[in-house]
Structure 1
Amino acid sequence: MGLLYRQFLRCRMILLSYLSHHPRLVCIILGLFLLLLSLAHERPRQILSYGNRFQDSSTFIREQIQQWSNKAERTKPKSVRECKLFSLQPKTEQLLAFHRPSCRRIPPLPGSCDLANEIFFSEPPATCSHQQSFNFCELKKSVNGKWEAQCNETQSVACISPLSVGKIDRQTGALKWEETGTSRKTAEMITSYIHHSRSALRHYGFCFIRCMIKQFLLENGPKDFDDPERNVYDDDQRNVDSDDKRNVHNDERNVFAEQLLILPPRIEPFDSDSVASQKNNFSINIMLIDSVSRQHFFRSLPKTVSVLKEVTSLLDSETTVLDFELVQAVRSRTFESLQVIFSGEIDPSEKPFGTQDTPPQPLKLSYLYGKFKKKGYHTLWIEDLCYLWEWGISKDLHFLNKSSSDEDTWKRLWKILDKNNIDSVEVTLAMCEVLKANHVPDHFHGPDAVCFNGRHQHEYLLEYLQLYQQTLESQKLPYFMFSQTNVGHEGRGRRVQTLDTSLANYIKFTASLQDTLTIIFSDHGNSYGSFMSATQEARIELFHPFMLFVIPNKVAKILGENAMLSLSVNTDRLVSFLDLHYTINHIVDPESLEKTAKRQFPVSRKGLLEPVDVNRTCSDIPRIMPNLCICQNYDTSVANESDFNLFAYFAIGQLNDEIQRQLLSLHIKNAEINSGNTLVAFKNCERLILQGVHNVRRSFDQNRTQTLKMDLHVQKSQVFFVAVSITYNLRSQGDHKTELMMYDRITPYGIFSVCADNIDLSLCICDTSRSSTNSLKIPEKDDLENLDLLPEFDVLVQDVSSLDRCLFLVTVKHERGAVVFLANVCQKRSFIVTAALEADDHLVYSVPPLLPVVLPGGMVVLGLLFAETGDTWTGSVKVSSQVVSDVSYLGSGWWRKS
């Protein structure tokens, strides 16, 4: 019996194994079983329907089996996949012969690549197929090699008005339209623009062509359109759905179809002596792809990466591609990166300006641009933002004034460009119309694809760059140009995929240019979005941009063998944009010595043209906090994060102090203090409430300064990434200093623009269901005693104004120390406060040198006590206050910004 039973089990296992590999047979067997059951109960007249019933049963069973299989797959524990770092080129023996650098990139977190695939590639990238494309005219080269326009009669059949050509007026900057009538006359006019020598008729690398169309061709388009004469940049329309962006404009009577036609540049001749001196020099082409990390570049642009690998792998290639694998970002913002690249100036200790603020000083583009201009180079700056809006070159160079007319802005633009030795911004001037057609002033928060006339916005930029380079290369004229696309600057992280085909083709073109060094890079990774919220890996990617050098053999020979070897070696060493600055500076001015003595960081005068120190760390390069070093073992995770939650309370208090400072500044600016309006510490933008602390890391500098970096989770699921510095003063025991260095908001916060108080939006959390201030509740003493605190924390509330019971000392206590606040619970009284915090042999943060003001409902930081050794601690606070009814004399600088 035992033998028979074992045989039975064996046969059953074989049968089950066979059936598991033949699900169709299982369906047939189960279907037959159900059919037999049906036959036992059905009447003869229904027999004719059994064939269909069998088919339906079989389909049903197959679907059920598939559902069971999918459910089992979902519930089965999955192993977390290890993720790899992308690389363009294998390491050569020559490169491996050098010492391995001390910096190795932090390995990607296991599973983060699967998460990236789910977030970024669960659906195909957006296209411009929602737009009807009108190809009224195109450029062709005649038999004598000159450009001429050819216009299509069949395309104009849809028009119910004559064709018109739009061109930027050189005096006012306005887009002026001139009716041309027929396609032939339109072609003649555009051709005259290309070749005419009169400055009044010259173009800026493009023109628009339009007509009224017979009918509204886009059935699903928006029902109300922007008036072409209205300036949409007065409103924030970032939340318009991307499906409603069209290239058709309407003035309530007419519907226009428009084409943007890229034209070859008109190059102003230089003095012959200046050009002749550049025989042995080469051109430099710099392209910035904003907000795309190195990992995201490789995962999002497979066609581009394939082209780069192809150029690199060809044995007879006339071009070398170098991929710098360890580039450390300066900061998660573009301005500071450009500041380092073009001027070489950076002060990491300086407090950065707010996101919405104008930089305290404009970019000093003239430092490099002026050197190239002096040596006979043609210079160009191109970007995809509108110069009449508050981002891009208008902010970088300080020429935008929202209260002035567009014509005045236009005049200031050209004065500033001339001061910075920039010849032109060319097709940049078309971007206002392109963005207006997409119903956005900028595209930082959508749409999913920025389109005009059925083409992606970046296609126009790359088309013009190629025409510009072809024109100057054919005339043997050197150029120095910078271009920037913000296609990657949006929360979803998908839109950069739309760049792939165009960028791949453009790199093929640049690789064929023997007189041009091309540098393509990003400034940092994406700073917001679901990937950033979901994994710590995104935080590392944020500070790990990519950088590629495309070097033709002719340029390589001019640079020299040693320089090329150094560039190759440095692809595997920690580098920064300060190295890039000195590289470009040495190319244009090899004898330059004026900045050598001022170098703040140990960087070679030749930049990347000499080997970078093999032992370089993030302490040796410029970084603005909060900033994570991409090298292993530099920022170390803290084992017990709760021990540092005191610093989290201190940091959140400093952020709340900044909200109060900005709101008071607005009160003063708007003269609300003496106007009868209620003066309060918080209005629509709420006091930030700490709900959690995660990802605590710390690093140590050589001057005994410790930097803590942590994620602060607050209400409404918002997260702040902060850096807190702790400086130990060895000369005076116990006299140490703690300060919030800077913060970044790593969760999307654009939704709060509808209810913000005109303070820096990156600080604001408010009720999006209301847009104006309702009755605001001033906290009472009971509210202070019942603060929602993290575990292991307690609160002590003490009255420090016995007469009016307005001011209370709020001490948030922990076994390792305390953070001390001063709260004002009165409705209409404000106080100027002085305070002194004392403790023996403990870390102490003292009040700022300028007097703090505590407004009604306010709660300001007085200090921090921290027992580093974990011993018991004691401290004392001395507070004096003075009621003030008019604080306007303090001005907007009453409190130092943190």
Structure 2
Amino acid sequence: MPRSYRCRRSCLSSVFLLKMAVVLLVLLACHLLLQGIQNGALETNGGLLADSDDVLMGQRAYRLFKEGGHFQKCEVPRLDPSEHPPDNVHCRRIKPLPNSCQLAHDLFLSKPPDKCEGEGPFNICQIKAKDRWHQEVHCDSKICQAGFSLGTIDPDLGILQWKEYGQAHDLQDQIKQLISVTSRNHHDFCFIRCLPAKKDENEVNTDDEREGKWSVEDRNYRDYVDLQYDFDLQDSLPKQLLILPRQFSKPKDKTLVNQTKISFNIYLLDSISHSHFFRSLPKSVHKLNRIRKVGNASVFNFHLMQSLKGRTYENLQALFAGELYNPKNPFGVQDMPPKAVQMGILLKSMKEAGYRTMWTEDLCWTWEWGIAKNMVVHSPGENQDVRWKKLKDVLRQSGIDGLNFSLASCEILKANGIRDTFHGPPVVCYNQRHHHHYTFEFLKMVQSQLNGAQQPFFHFTIANVAHEDTGRRVQTLDDDLAEYLEYLSTQDNMVTVLLADHGNAYGAFMGKTIEARIEMFHPVFLILMSKNVAKQLGPAKLRALSVNQDRLVSILDLHYTLRSLFFGSPVTVAPEHQAYAISPHGLLAPVSPNRTCDSVPRINPNVCICRDYEKAVANDSGRARIAEVIVREMNEVILDNAKAGGDRKDYRACKQLELKWFGNVKESHPKTGVTLMKMDLHFEPGRNSGNSEEVVFVVVQSEKTDFSTLIQLLSFERMTSYSQYEKCKDPEVPTKLCVCDLLS
């Protein structure tokens, strides 16, 4: 064999062996790295230091590595997946962690959404229009053989009053009277149910009733449930919620008729992120794409909406009043807000211009959450008539015509055995239809009637279907929302804003990936605009809306957009808002491509959705000392509050917080010498709490002086569920700070 050939073979073999060795070393290093991550936290400083991103994603990576798998690419969804964010924009969304989309799929989409169960739906009574001014009513006596009960809102109490009818024709006559041209008080709905069997007079009441252990609020709720007769929440007798048509006349002022005014339709879907909207509502997303392609209406999807705060109140205050809540005067979730949402700042001018205004929500106004609390008139200890008058007065002062269909929510929630929807059930139904089905039916009816009468309107609807632990219930919205979007695309003179205040703030997803934390502050935000409104705005403003889809925006921008659309001209930007680079036109003018989270309002604890705004840093011993200082401060607050309840000098039901470890540490530097640090603190949970650990997200400011470093806890938020501790906590200690043991 020639020498040169032998040399070439030897060289090739050496190169091949060298390459193989490098590959094996890389694989071994990856294996050891992933094995180390899989085994848990860095065992430094007594086990306090860990990086939760690495732990969570490393465990999954190691599992995939062993199975011969690979990371699944995960992108932030867009209406048109072929479009890509422009390169000239400073803020680019933080990349989702690898396989966080697969994790979301496993949690949310591994099985179909729940459905309404039971018999029905029952159409006890039906209304058919003969012409615009006359309707026929037919009630079926075969469905309710023992007679009927009709529930309508008592105008003096704001709750249902029931009246019995033995014959179908008597009920028909009453409904005809309700929907007659002269009727003004039917609140757009009524409830009908078949009469139940008469209650046995010898039936024994509950122990609580017999012993008089009802609280004032429980008594109010019991009285509401038991109007006319005791009604079993699980009763299977046929029932129906009937939407009632209303007649609207054209405005008497001819100038209003001759002017084409824009109607505003705001639909706020509480607690749904941009990504969760796309993954949970595919039919609605498809419908929006179809509307945009066909050209029935203009659709704008804002991909970089930064949430103000992970709570509804502050977002409502910014939307309606352009007011930013002062984080230096915080209030707890269970507390009454320090002031009412100033809705009149946006709505009073509209009322003066002849607009019809309406607030619709799926919560019961007599209970703790919703409109009464937001307007600071929730007073369960007062008589029902006083409470109702207070609410009506504050609504009128704020420029809201009424609650209308919102008042149906109390009966719907009661029929489901709940007072609110924040922790289940998986579906909220009435007569085998979802609660939101009726809301959309009502909105379509009243908006069609107002448009037909050339009556401009401002409708605000807030839906809480997504505000719950599992993240799955919102999927039940998809069919009805898609149908409603199709309807909206056919309406003239209307701007519809579909947005969320924030993403889901709790649940399994939040505990499994840091991507959920980013989604919490990245809510969905879309605008659907009628053709003639788009024509009225002109090319420059439409181009601005289009450009702003890929620029960082906030709910404060939307506030100025709505005002600019209403007035038809730029509005004055408040001095306190000028630091946020707000345009007098709102989003009808281009937002700066260089805008970052320094130029949008945020209330801490908050996560900026822009890439590289905050720098991930090591959880070293120096930051461990800061974590320990913060925990000591939190424990002092718990102890001080516990002492207020008695003479004891130690912890009572609410335990001393025991730090297991901390991680997910990020820093930013708003000014020289000042560092904002965010981290997750992980504590031991209470017994029988259902949590494997307690996670608290804290925002800490450290400021260097000539002689020392000042450390201040600015704010904190519980990332794991804590409402269960209401049952065992000390009365004086805020639930948000408490960890206690529950009875098994």
TM-score range, shorter chain: 0.7 to 0.9
Post-superposition Cα deviations, 1:729-759, rounded to whole Å, max 9, x if no partner, equal 5xxx236532111111111123222212233
1:291 matched to which residue of 2? Answer: 271
Post-superposition Cα deviations, 1:10-59, rounded to whole Å, max 9, x if no partner, equal xxxxxxxxxxxxxxxxxxxxxxxxxxxxxxxxxxxxxxxxxxxxxxxxxx
1:613 alignment partner, one of 583, 592, 617: 592
CA contact (8 A) 2:264 2:494 kept: yes
Counterpart secondary structure, 1:608: helix
Counterpart secondary structure, 1:155: coil
2:717 matched to which residue of 1? Answer: 744
Counterpart secondary structure, 2:390: helix
Label 1:253 to 1:363 Cα distance change in 2 as closer, same or farther (>3 A): closer
One-letter code of the match for 1:433?
A: E
One-letter code of the match for 1:685?
A: C
One-letter code of the match for 1:296?
A: H
Counterpart secondary structure, 2:151: strand
One-letter code of the match for 2:720?
A: T
1:502 matched to which residue of 2? Answer: 480
Offset, 1:77: 3.5
CA contact (8 A) 1:212 1:255 kept: no
CA contact (8 A) 1:397 1:416 kept: yes
Counterpart secondary structure, 2:665: strand
Label 1:457 to 1:661 Cα distance change in 2 as closer, same or farther (>3 A): farther
1:766 alignment partner, one of 737, 740, 744: 740
Label 1:664 to 1:442 Cα distance change in 2 as closer, same or farther (>3 A): farther
Task: Tell me the distance in 2 between the aligned counterparts of 1:131 and 1:224.
Answer: 29
Report the TM-score when normalising by structure 1.
0.69
Task: Tell me the distance in 2 between the aligned counterparts of 1:231 and 1:561.
Answer: 63
Task: Tell me the distance in 2 between the aligned counterparts of 1:553 and 1:143.
Answer: 29
Task: Tell me the distance in 2 between the aligned counterparts of 1:641 and 1:193.
Answer: 70
Task: Give unpaired runs (5+ residues) of structure 2.
Answer: 1-62, 200-204, 220-228, 686-692
Label 1:662 to 1:148 Cα distance change in 2 as closer, same or farther (>3 A): farther
- Say yes or no: does 1:714 pair with 2:722: no
Identity of aligned residues (%): 37
- Say yes or no: does 1:520 pair with 2:498: yes
- Say yes or no: does 1:155 pair with 2:143: yes
1:173 alignment partner, one of 147, 150, 158: 158
Counterpart secondary structure, 1:390: coil
Offset, 1:607: 0.8
Label 1:274 to 1:421 Cα distance change in 2 as closer, same or farther (>3 A): farther
CA contact (8 A) 1:378 1:477 kept: yes
Offset, 1:150: 2.4
Post-superposition Cα deviations, 1:88-113, rounded to whole Å, max 9, x if no partner, equal 136889x95xx621000011100111
2:702 alignment partner, one of 707, 726, 729: 726
Between Structure 1 and Structure 2, whose CA radius of gyration is higher?
Answer: 1
Task: Tell me the distance in 2 between the aligned counterparts of 1:140 and 1:635.
Answer: 60
User: Which has the higher mean CA deviation after the structures are superposed, 184-193 or 412-421?
Assistant: 184-193
CA contact (8 A) 2:619 2:663 kept: no
- Say yes or no: does 1:312 pair with 2:276: no
2:388 matched to which residue of 1? Answer: 410
1:586 alignment partner, one of 564, 573, 576: 564
1:102 alignment partner, one of 76, 90, 106: 90
Q: Could you say what the CA RMSD is over the residues aligned between the two structures, in angstroms?
A: 3.0
2:551 matched to which residue of 1? Answer: 573
Counterpart secondary structure, 2:497: strand
Post-superposition Cα deviations, 1:391-443, rounded to whole Å, max 9, x if no partner, equal 11111101111211222110101000011000011111111111111121111
1:644 matched to which residue of 2? Answer: 623
Offset, 1:658: 3.2
CA contact (8 A) 2:260 2:493 kept: no
**1:61-72 mapped onto 2 (5 Å cutoff):** none
Task: Give unpaired runs (5+ residues) of structure 1.
Answer: 1-71, 217-222, 237-247, 668-676, 771-898
Task: Tell me the distance in 1 between the aligned counterparts of 2:629 and 2:298.
Answer: 51
Offset, 1:591: 5.2
Counterpart secondary structure, 2:410: helix
2:419 matched to which residue of 1? Answer: 441
2:468 matched to which residue of 1? Answer: 490
Label 1:73 to 1:358 Cα distance change in 2 as closer, same or farther (>3 A): closer
CA contact (8 A) 1:540 1:628 kept: yes
1:873 matched to which residue of 2? Answer: none
- Say yes or no: does 1:543 pair with 2:521: yes
**1:877-892 mapped onto 2 (5 Å cutoff):** none
Offset, 1:82: 1.4
Offset, 1:728: 4.3
- Say yes or no: does 1:699 pair with 2:668: yes
Post-superposition Cα deviations, 1:537-573, rounded to whole Å, max 9, x if no partner, equal 1011111001010011100112221111100000000
CA contact (8 A) 2:560 2:585 kept: yes
Task: Tell me the distance in 2 between the aligned counterparts of 1:398 and 1:273.
Answer: 38
1:240 matched to which residue of 2? Answer: none
User: Which has the higher mean CA deviation after the structures are superposed, 647-656 or 353-362?
Assistant: 647-656
Counterpart secondary structure, 2:550: coil
CA contact (8 A) 1:250 1:256 kept: no
Label 1:768 to 1:102 Cα distance change in 2 as closer, same or farther (>3 A): same
1:324 matched to which residue of 2? Answer: 302
Offset, 1:361: 1.2
Offset, 1:680: 4.1
1:303 matched to which residue of 2? Answer: 283
Counterpart secondary structure, 2:484: helix
Post-superposition Cα deviations, 1:282-339, rounded to whole Å, max 9, x if no partner, equal 101000001011100000001101101111122xx23111100000001111111111
Post-superposition Cα deviations, 1:135-191, rounded to whole Å, max 9, x if no partner, equal 2112221145634432223322xx43x112110011222311122322232222112
Task: Tell me the distance in 2 between the aligned counterparts of 1:256 and 1:92.
Answer: 53
Counterpart secondary structure, 2:575: coil
1:279 alignment partner, one of 259, 262, 276: 259
- Say yes or no: does 1:261 pair with 2:235: no
1:184 alignment partner, one of 169, 178, 196: 169
Counterpart secondary structure, 1:691: strand
Matched length: 657
User: Which has the higher mean CA deviation after the structures are superposed, 557-566 or 375-384?
Assistant: 557-566
Label 1:124 to 1:624 Cα distance change in 2 as closer, same or farther (>3 A): same
Task: Tell me the distance in 2 between the aligned counterparts of 1:683 and 1:136.
Answer: 56
Label 1:592 to 1:419 Cα distance change in 2 as closer, same or farther (>3 A): farther
**1:619-630 mapped onto 2 (5 Å cutoff):** 619-630=598-609
1:364 matched to which residue of 2? Answer: 342
Label 1:483 to 1:173 Cα distance change in 2 as closer, same or farther (>3 A): same
Offset, 1:215: 12
Counterpart secondary structure, 2:364: coil
CA contact (8 A) 2:696 2:720 kept: yes
1:118 matched to which residue of 2? Answer: 106
CA contact (8 A) 1:103 1:573 kept: yes
- Say yes or no: does 1:76 pair with 2:78: no
- Structure scoring higher RCO (CA < 8 A, sep ≥ 6) equals 2
One-letter code of the match for 1:303?
A: K
CA contact (8 A) 2:152 2:189 kept: yes
Counterpart secondary structure, 2:161: strand
One-letter code of the match for 2:446?
A: Y
CA contact (8 A) 1:249 1:437 kept: no
Label 1:174 to 1:383 Cα distance change in 2 as closer, same or farther (>3 A): closer
